[in-house]
Amino acid sequence: MINKTKILIVDDEPVVRLAYSRILASDHSLVEAVSNGVDALERLAEQAFDVVLLDLRMPGMDGMAVLQAIKQNWPDVEVIIITGYAGIDTVKQSVALGAFDYLAKPVGPDDVMNVTNSALRHKGWALRRLAGPQARPECRCQA
């Protein structure tokens, strides 16, 4: 069985959730979407995700609070902020809290795909560095 990349989309706009889900869906990925920060944290507590695409302005818990909670509880999850209310202060705060990247809406399909792929590559390299040079994949070959 192939391990699928797990991506969580967090945005209060149904059309945005649907668009990102369609862009990122593939045979190699599992994409889920939720409409608010509380639901996002509940899903993360239930299942491990590799990347989270996170809106900042949502009813209830805002994106910065969600980002902070994700990085405190699941520091290896890469978080990409995608917001329609970009500002230098939120960029600085996002980076300080550990966001992988920050995009201002509207974003095109290529932007969503490219930043997600970059986050996955970064996560892969980060995990390899943490494992150290002695970490080698186990050979399950039959001679």
Query: Domains of the chain by range and CATH?
Result: 5-131 (3.40.50.2300)
Q: Which two tokens stand for residue 20?
A: 């990102």
**pTM across the whole model:** 0.86
How far, in Å, CA of 142 to CA of 89, rounded? 56
pLDDT tens figures, 98-112: 999 999 999 999 999
pLDDT tens figures, 6-61: 999 999 999 999 999 999 999 889 999 999 999 999 999 999 999 999 999 999 99
How far, in Å, CA of 63 to CA of 55, rounded? 6
Q: Which two tokens stand for residue 18?
A: 């649907």
10 and 40 in contact (C-beta within 8 Å)? yes
pLDDT tens figures, 58-101: 999 999 999 999 999 999 999 999 999 889 999 999 999 999 99
Residue 19's identity, in one-letter code, is: A
Asked whether the CA dihedral 97, 9, 52, 36 is positive or negative, the reply is positive
